[in-house]
Homo-oligomer: A and B are copies of this chain.
Amino acid sequence: MVTAGGAPTVETIAERAGVSIASVSRVLNGHGARPETVRRVERAAAEVGYVPNAVARSLKGGRTRQLTFAMQDIGNPVYVAMVRQIQSIAKAEGYRLLLHSTDAVAEDELAVVRSLADRTSDGLILCPIRITPEHIEALRTAARPVVVIGSLPEEERVPVDSVRADSVAGAGLAVRHLAETGRRRIAFVNGPADTVPGRNRHLGYHRALAACGLRADPELVVTTEFTIEAGASAMHRLLDRLTAGGAGTSAGGPGVSAHEPGDPGGPGLDAVFCANDQLALGASQALHSRGLRIPGDVAVVGMDDTVLVRAGWPPLTSVDLGSAERGRIAAEMLLERISGPRAGSGQKAGSGPGSGSVRDPGPPARTRTVTPRLVVRASSAPARPGPDPHAAPAGHDRGEAAS
């Protein structure tokens, strides 16, 4: 029953109800009107199935009620966890969510930040792979509020909010847990060393090793990509290297003490900490395919606590770096920037020459850090108990939080 030729507009309703378009607008936005007017407008609107044109509304109001979330690849479970939270909060606040995969192309990330100027979105949550000087500049001049999930160089004082994980502490949690459950030769399968997570997790691993009085053996560390396949081959490489008695790969290192743990002729390591769950899953598979038992022979710990931990066998102990929580916090911070208390009145800003700048910066940028949490499951149970942990009864893997 829609008026032929185009969707109904305020004018359609005004004519039908015999009032002005201004009254229609007022009634529809609950700005008060005579009961009789309200009745007639509402009736007319219902009859024609009127739906306000959101675009026109945005043009007038300057807000689109859209948020953008940009990350490398939605295929990564960590981002999926974030999207879920962000979408849920956005929805609850009446915002739509625009998704943007950058495929890890820095140029694309920049484009997303710059495109905020096109007024399509009221704010952006960005997960950058690497922060370049161009990023800093783009963030500085962003046309809309931005929240970065990741680490921003502190000395740059980039004026955007951010939420970060504590990879260093997280890696420490994993290593300490392994050491406390009796593991002595803890290997480390890391992601690319030139990424922030890669660097931090490596640092955390080393620090915790030292804190636990364990020797850091370079033979036990291997670096690769953040994928299941890479994890598997990295683990194979590690095992080859260790059982070969320090033959090829390591140049000047002393012979590998391949027989230290458990039975002689063992794998030369009794635990492996992996920089994310994909790597841990790959490592598990490599161990399985060589007939090594988890956690009997080798304990495995992953990181990020994604949905994947319950997919592997045995269920994977993992360090939850708070993906979901970071997503939630980022969304909250962003919404606060968008509609929260305008202008930081509590401070006499240094008011340099460029006072009338592009956008009211509001309160100073905040950085929040999410505390990691170790979730213990079967893959890191102490080696002692039952002869075949593979036959452990189900229900054994209920996650348990630790400091």
Contact = CB atoms under 8 A, between A and B. Distances in A.
Interface of A: 2, 4-5, 7, 49, 51-56, 58-59, 64, 66, 73-75, 80-81, 83-84, 87-88, 91, 96-101, 114-115, 117-120, 143, 228-229, 232, 236, 281, 284-286, 288-291, 307-308, 310-315, 356-358, 388, 390-394
A284 B313 contact: yes
Contacts of A308: 308, 311
B307 A75 contact: yes
A310 B77 CA distance: 14
Contacts of A390: 288-289, 291
Contacts of A391: 288-291
A53 B119 contact: yes
A99 B101 contact: no
Contacts of A49: 117
A229 B315 CA distance: 12
A114 B51 contact: yes
A281 B2 contact: no
Given A98-B97, A313-B288, A236 B87 contact: no
A117 B232 CA distance: 50
12 contacts: A51-B114, A53-B118, A74-B74, A74-B87, A80-B80, A84-B101, A96-B120, A97-B98, A236-B394, A289-B392, A291-B388, A308-B308
A107 to B, nearest CB: 13
B289 A393 contact: yes
A80 B55 CA distance: 29
Contacts of A357: 4
A225 to B, nearest CB: 14
A45 to B, nearest CB: 12
A88 B98 CA distance: 13
A120 B55 CA distance: 6
Given A56-B59, A96-B100, A286 B394 contact: yes
Contacts of A315: 285
Nearest to A290: B391
A7 B101 contact: no
Nearest to A315: B285
B54 A119 contact: yes
A108 to B, nearest CB: 9
Contacts of A73: 84
A358 B64 CA distance: 26
Contacts of A394: 232, 236, 285-286, 289
A96 B5 CA distance: 27
A358 B48 CA distance: 12
A29 B354 CA distance: 33
Nearest to A54: B118
A87 to B, nearest CB: 5
A307 to B, nearest CB: 7
A313 B308 CA distance: 12
Q: Which of A5, A307, A314, A392 has the most CB of B within 10 A?
A: A307
Given A55-B119, A88-B101, A312 B313 contact: yes
A119 B5 CA distance: 15
Contacts of A66: 98
Nearest to A49: B117
Given A80-B80, A91-B100, A291-B391, 17 more contacts: A4-B356, A7-B119, A51-B117, A52-B118, A53-B59, A53-B119, A54-B119, A55-B55, A66-B98, A74-B84, A75-B307, A87-B99, A96-B120, A97-B98, A236-B394, A289-B392, A308-B308
